[in-house]
Amino acid sequence: MPLARVCVFCGSSPGADPAFAAAARALGGLLAARGLELLYGAGNVGLMGILADAALAGGGRVTGVIPRFLVDKELAHLGLTRLEIVDSMHERKARLADLADAFVALPGGMGTLEEVCEVTTWAQLALHRKPIGLLDVSGYYQPLLAFLDRAVAERLLRPEHHGLLLVESEPARLLDRFAERGPEPAEKWIDRT
């Protein structure tokens, strides 16, 4: 499947490591340079705002989807190519997933973790075959990957499902890997009785 739109999950805070902001800036600029539309949660703060501003500065298209209660808190980026306002966080995630051809997680907190886990679970259940990647800036996602290794070792996760998450430290390499393949379907259940 050709890529046209990439959904990026990331923090609404910039984080302590300046490498996080640099990666968000690099990814936003790269998406624009490759003619890929950025889809994201429409925030104007933290890594979200940095990412969107970089894509826009590079001449890229940026679509944001945000629930009304966050617009009311003045957290919506009003300079986007397209801003969609929805009623709930659930509707936001569903809309972004529908629009996206691929997903990337930059560093982030609970929301980012929840979003990337949800789209990965959907891939595990064969609800989509869109590539999913972790941009592992400064080793940020190494503890999550260690957890998944443990889940595989404990026979709670198939190795193929761990492999649904493509991991790279450079945005260009991650996007290149997206073009190589989508997730392969595999039976979710390890032990059926």
Q: Report whether pLDDT(182) > 60.
A: no
Q: Report whether pLDDT(181) > 70.
A: no
The pLDDT value recorded for residue 179 is 85
Q: What is the mean pLDDT of residues 18-34?
A: 98
How far apart (Å, rounded) are the C-alpha atoms in residues 45 and 171?
A: 21
Q: Please check whether residue 92 is in contact with residue 41, taking contact to mean a CB–CB distance below 8 angstroms.
A: yes
The pLDDT value recorded for residue 1 is 62
| Residue 114: count of CB within 10 angstroms of its CB | 13
Q: Which two tokens stand for residue 111?
A: 């929301």
- Residue count (the chain): 193
How far apart (Å, rounded) are the C-alpha atoms in residues 122 and 169?
A: 24
Q: What is the mean pLDDT of residues 144-161?
A: 96
The pLDDT value recorded for residue 91 is 98
The pLDDT value recorded for residue 190 is 61
Q: What is the mean pLDDT of residues 153-182?
A: 92
Confidence band of 2 (pLDDT split at 50, 70, 90): confident
Q: What is the mean pLDDT of residues 150-179?
A: 96
Q: Report whether pLDDT(9) > 70.
A: yes
Q: Which residues of 48-87 are buried (b: 16+ CB within 10 A; e: fewer)?
A: bbbbbbbbbebebbbbbbbbeebeeeebbbeebeebbebe
How far apart (Å, rounded) are the C-alpha atoms in residues 26 and 24?
A: 5
The domain limits of the chain are 5-180
The pLDDT value recorded for residue 191 is 66
Proportion of the chain above pLDDT 70, given as a percent: 93
Residue 28, class by beta-carbon neighbours within 10 Å (0-12 exposed, 13-18 middle, 19+ buried)?
A: buried
H or E element at residue 140:
none
Question: What is the dotted CATH code of the domain comprising 5-180?
Answer: 3.40.50.450
For residue range 54-105, what is the model confidence (pLDDT) as tens digits? 999 999 999 999 999 999 999 999 999 999 999 999 999 999 999 999 999 9
Is the whole model's pTM more than 0.85, yes or no? yes
